[in-house]
Amino acid sequence: MGLVVAHLLLASVMFFSIGSAEMSSKVGVCYGQLGNNLPSPQESVELMIKSLKATRVKIYDANPKILKALKNTDIQVSIMVPNEIINNISLSSQSLSDQWVRTNVLPYLPGTKIRYLLVGNEILSLPDKSIWPNLVPAMRKIRKSLKTLGARKIKVGTPSAMDVLQSSFPPSNGTFRSDISESVMRPMLHFLNRTKSFFFVDAYTFFPWSSDPKNIHLDYALLESTNITYTDPVTKLTYTNLFDQMLDAVVFAMKKLGYPDIRIFIAETGWPNGGDYDQIGANIYNAATYNRNIVKKLTAKPAIGTPARPGWVLPSFIFALYNENQKPGPGTERHFGLLYPNGSHVYEIDLSGNAPEKEYGPLPKPTNNEPYKGKIWCVAAKVANTTALSSALSYACSQGNKTCDPIQPGKPCAKPGSLVWKASYAFSSYWSQFRKLGGTCYFNGLATQTIKDPSHGSCKFPSVTL
């Protein structure tokens, strides 16, 4: 009788382990909301399930409409404590944390499957260092609130960008930045280890590749290489793609601080399907190739893991559900979506990993895998709001360097009454002077890049030459 029970127990443990692994290997999607043309939460949830076959979703707040729309679905949900209140939660009594959990978590359980609660987003990449020492204390308080209020199964973490590493090459040299290693990372890893949570990391191969396309092969970044490998000189581990290299750098950084076994959760990964003229490789072909390959890798059974952690499951979220037209920054920021705002696919993809590749239709050939060579101008966008455009013009002209001298009365680019003309000149002049210092051709969505020279007559618009 005892032997039978033992066999049954062993079988149940094995079943649970396999079931957990299967569930963990599913790929989810990040549901950003920075767009003024996005479908309703209800429609979005239907698209996740039916169109993308997503089984997880990450949102960047605790939006009640989205959490209600996710009720009674099988989608596992990750919500987020906003960056702005981390200091308050950390420095206040436990009651503030309790109140946040009572308001933003408890009302939706158990119908909405909230499984992860992320405290802030890429906090350790922010220039405001005052929040850094409050991150882990806030995580502890949120975790205590969840336990006290009966939601102890929800895992608490925080997403980190790859720039938390001071060194990432070779992977065995992975090391956290000296300004956060002892003060933030060590206590964070202790917390994650003690609570059996995950190290959540945002890992994009696009960014290291696009900043160094001469030395990093595109296929290596797209998980498409068949004969490109890199062998770590210390560990002798061989890498066939950049994604594995990046994750193992994190693994070794954690190991150096004495935490070799904390699981990694891919909080974000993806590839832009479009961008600006001065952004290399952002196109539908590369985005589809990368995301299909990453889904194939992450959903493989048995799990593939990485060279330093073979066979380890890597739960994950692909960024993002939609192209979001109000995201600030370079054009790529508005082009990471799997779907257009009208709900149609940017390219075919199945996050379950079950769709055979042969079922996908042809992709448009990439045209910008090599850097653009030529002149680019920055002009006012067609849909520009006149009041906002006027403010942006004033901003561009206030930055010094005689940015707007040529559009003053009597000068060669003066065009009385034409706000769009003046703004376009100011934007181009500003961008040509400040691009190398981080200036962008965006101006809160009021500007756009063009390769058509807007100069007219004796008025020559400044340009960026690539």
- Alpha-carbon distance of 40 to 42, in angstroms, equals 5
| 350-389: pLDDT as tens digits | 999 998 888 899 999 999 999 899 999 999 988 768 889 9
Whether residue 81 lies inside any domain: the answer is: yes
Whether residue 50 lies inside any domain: the answer is: yes
Q: Is residue 45 located within the same domain as residue 128?
A: yes
Q: Is residue 207 located within the same domain as residue 330?
A: yes
Q: Is residue 405 located within the same domain as residue 354?
A: no
304 pLDDT exceeds 90?
A: yes
Whether residue 52 lies inside any domain: the answer is: yes
**360 token code pair:** 């996908």
5 pLDDT exceeds 50?
A: no
Q: Is residue 435 located within the same domain as residue 321?
A: no
Q: Is residue 380 located within the same domain as residue 346?
A: no
Choosing from 359, 392, 424, the residue where a domain stops is 359
Q: Is residue 318 located within the same domain as residue 400?
A: no
- Alpha-carbon distance of 343 to 47, in angstroms, equals 7
Whether residue 5 lies inside any domain: the answer is: no
Q: Is residue 285 located within the same domain as residue 317?
A: yes
- Alpha-carbon distance of 289 to 357, in angstroms, equals 11
Q: Is residue 399 located within the same domain as residue 339?
A: no
Structural domain that includes position 386: 375-465
277 in Cβ contact with 348 (< 8 Å): no
DSSP codes of every residue in 429-461 = HHHHHHGGGT--S-GGGTEEEESS---BTTB--
* Helix residue ranges per DSSP H, 25-174: 41-46, 64-69, 86-91, 94-104, 132-148
Choosing from 335, 359, 383, the residue where a domain stops is 359
Q: Is residue 178 located within the same domain as residue 263?
A: yes
| Helix count and strand count (H, E) for the chain | 13, 18
149 in Cβ contact with 102 (< 8 Å): yes
Element of type H or E holding 273: none
Across residues 322-330, what is the average pLDDT?
Answer: 93
Q: Is residue 227 located within the same domain as residue 292?
A: yes
Whole-number pLDDT of residue 243: 98
Whole-number pLDDT of residue 239: 97
Residue that wins the pLDDT comparison between 459 and 118: 118
Q: Is residue 344 located within the same domain as residue 443?
A: no
Whether residue 69 lies inside any domain: the answer is: yes
Whether residue 2 lies inside any domain: the answer is: no
Residue 245's pLDDT band (cuts 50, 70, 90): very high
- Alpha-carbon distance of 123 to 202, in angstroms, equals 12
Q: Is residue 319 located within the same domain as residue 383?
A: no
**405 token code pair:** 């001298």
Q: Which residues are catalytic?
A: 122, 268
Choosing from 359, 385, 407, the residue where a domain stops is 359
| Domains of the chain: total | 2
Whether residue 351 lies inside any domain: the answer is: yes
